[in-house]
Amino acid sequence: MTLEENFKKLDEIMEKLSDDSLPLEESFGVYKEGMDILAKCRKVIDEVEEKVKKLAQ
């Protein structure tokens, strides 16, 4: 998935977690999914940041 697609999925996850009717066990699974996606996004952003730093030198 692209970074943009991951951000969109994170938005969807945030909406799900905001829903008070979501069972607690399901909330944990959705939260874990969001944290996994967030970790992927951070990795991509860190890689891009390193490339930009190298180009700036």
pLDDT digit string, tens, across residues 31-53: 999 999 999 999 999 999 999 99
pLDDT band at residue 14 using 50, 70 and 90 as cut-offs = very high
The whole-number pLDDT of residue 41 equals: 97
The whole-number pLDDT of residue 18 equals: 95
Count of structural domains within the chain: 1
CA distance 16 to 48: 30
3-state secondary structure the chain: CCHHHHHHHHHHHHHHHHCCCCCHHHHHHHHHHHHHHHHHHHHHHHHHHHHHHHHHC
The whole-number pLDDT of residue 1 equals: 87
Tell me which residue range forms the domain holding 24.
Answer: 3-56
Average pLDDT over residues 14-24: 93
Tokens of 42: 């951070």
CB-CB contact of 13 with 29 (8 Å) = no
